[in-house]
Amino acid sequence: MITKANYLSDLKFNLETWKRELRFHFDEMDTFEEKLEEIARREFGKKATVPLENFQNRIMIEKDAISKLKHRIRNKMANIHKADFNENIDGRLQNEQHTLKDDMRTYINMHYDLKEEMMDYFREWL
């Protein structure tokens, strides 16, 4: 039972960390949208607007991914709070954790790729 409590505590820590990171990334996307709007107001022409529209679409996709991941984290937290301490830790909770961990890793890679591209774009147009 102590092992299970420690495992659930570690799992909860991971989920809370991911939740904070996702919140930060969501806010960061808002800041990037503001910068894109600033560039759009300057009317640089098609050379600037084509990638700008692409970035706006990718931001919407990323915000949707963030929302879905946050929802999964909330569900996982609910599962932790109603966890059966007699259930084997190699069971359901551990398997669910693994896929969320992989999805977070994929999302974070996607986020930083987008961020790097946007920073290059901002350097060129701001």
Give the pTM.
0.83
Which structure tokens are listed for 12?
């909860």
For residue 57, the model assigns a pLDDT of 98
Q: Print the domain residue range for 23.
A: 2-125
pLDDT by residue, tens only, the chain of 126 residues: 556 666 778 889 999 999 999 999 999 999 999 999 999 999 899 999 999 999 999 999 999 999 999 999 999 999 888 876 665 555 555 555 568 999 999 999 999 999 999 999 999 999
Cα 126 from Cα 122, distance rounded (Å): 5
User: First CA to last CA across the chain, in angstroms?
Assistant: 57
Each residue of 111-126: pLDDT tens digit? Answer: 999 999 999 999 999 9
**For the chain, how many structural domains are there in total?**
1
